[in-house]
Amino acid sequence: RMSRHAQKLRDHDINPCVAETDATTKCMDDNNYKKDMCTAYFLKYKNCRKFWHGIMMQRRRNGVKPEMPSADERKKILESMG
């Protein structure tokens, strides 16, 4: 059974970067943990975290709850950006 923290990290409504996390982990597994083989995946993950952190901070400043948009809401935000 997963810890509560681990479950939170797997929850698409809480963690906007589950797909990037999984892709990075898979790359590391597939490449015998050679980080330099997975640079693109690390970058995508970092950009994902940075992007949603910015959105979260903006929502916090504007008093919007929840601070992290739900998975559905995030999908709409991304679609609106093209």
Contact between residue 24 and residue 41 where contact means Cβ atoms under 8 Å apart: yes
The two tokens of residue 35 are 């980080």
Give me the number of domains the chain comprises. 1
- What domain range is 22 assigned to? 2-78
pLDDT-derived band of residue 13, with 50, 70 and 90 as boundaries?
Answer: confident
pTM of the model: 0.84
> Is the per-residue pLDDT at 2 higher than 80?
no
Contact between residue 69 and residue 57 where contact means Cβ atoms under 8 Å apart: no
Greater pLDDT, 9 or 38: 38
> Is the per-residue pLDDT at 30 higher than 90?
yes
pLDDT at 20: 96
What would you report as the CA-atom Rg of the chain, rounded to the nearest whole angstrom? 15
Neighbours of 41 (CB within 10 A): 20
pLDDT at 11: 85
The two tokens of residue 39 are 């640079």
> Is the per-residue pLDDT at 25 higher than 80?
yes
The two tokens of residue 13 are 């409504």
CA distance linking residue 70 with residue 16, whole number of Å: 8
